[in-house]
Amino acid sequence: MELRNESVKMPEAAADDTEILNPDHDQDDAETDKASKIAVQTESLSVFFNERPAIEDISLKLRRNRVTAIIGPSGCGKSTFLRALNLMHEMTPKSRVIGRIRIHGKDITSSSSVDVRKKVGMVFQKPNPFPTMSIYDNVVAGLRLNGKRRNSELDEIVERNLKHAGLWEEVKDRLKAPALSLSGGQQQRLCISRTIAVNPEIILMDEPTSALDPISTAKIEELIYNFKSEYSIIIVTHNMQQAARVSDSTAFLYLGKLIEFSKTRRMFTNPKEKLTEEYVTGKFG
């Protein structure tokens, strides 16, 4: 990861903290209970790899049942940010996190990663179904591995979640076929059913369509739109059109720092920061 924080002078992003913390501040005055509307909140979150900062001092409040997109050029730390939210950074040796992450108000930075990840599911860049398992087994893998084994119940869960991910009609006659026999787009939807089968409240998506063709991409984007009523979704994408299409609010990261966090519409039409404007209009990145 290429980071040259010291050499680049940031625009006055930090000074605007209070402003960008709350993209909806101009509309939220009617809310009586703001806290319950927040799905994920980070407070001065920094992640270090080998004592080098990958993201620095990011404070965000992401609302429930909304889609939040995280955009930025390669190496800006958007995946790092996402992976910190379900403590996946622990997989990387010599990583360290400071700051707080609150999921529905509860600080998770020191909780058990297993508990966190049951609530915060993740869909990865490349479809990664378990290669030794069938389609059926993939969907219930999370439940089975956590000890749920009643078969009648599982059948129902498989059907419900495959339907939910829009895959049921395509695979219902070959549930016992190996997962790898599916096409890339189908595999990704299988991974999504696998993720929602454990009943998460929040779904993290790390460039979920970057390995897929446009038609499969469209199907996934449709899913994301439909999922809004049930889940809070955070999606990392390098595709700004995608961010514009699927998300309600967007955060722009650059060189590990949060530059701007606004309503998506505003971000792409009338950004507050000059850097954001340059990025969304394709002047760099």
Residue ranges that bind another protein, judged by CB under 8 A: 86, 88, 91, 93-94, 113-119, 121-122, 124, 126, 128-132, 141-142, 145-146, 191, 194-195, 198
Please, what is the minimum distance in Å from the beta carbon of residue 161 to another protein? Answer: 12
Residue number with CB closer to another protein (207 or 260): 207
Return all residues near 259 (Cβ < 8 A) that are at least 6 apart: 11, 13, 252, 253, 273, 275, 276
Please, what is the minimum distance in Å from the beta carbon of residue 221 to another protein? Answer: 21
Residue number with CB closer to another protein (25 or 106): 106
- 129 Ramachandran zone, left/alpha/beta (phi>0; psi -120 to 50): beta
Nearest to 17 by CA among 73, 49, 76, 57: 57
Please, what is the minimum distance in Å from the beta carbon of residue 134 to another protein? Answer: 13
Residue type, 190: L
Please, what is the minimum distance in Å from the beta carbon of residue 63 to another protein? Answer: 22
Residue number with CB closer to another protein (5 or 132): 132
Residue number with CB closer to another protein (104 or 119): 119
Please, what is the minimum distance in Å from the beta carbon of residue 124 to another protein? Answer: 6
Residue number with CB closer to another protein (44 or 183): 183
Nearest to 185 by CA among 202, 203, 197, 167: 167
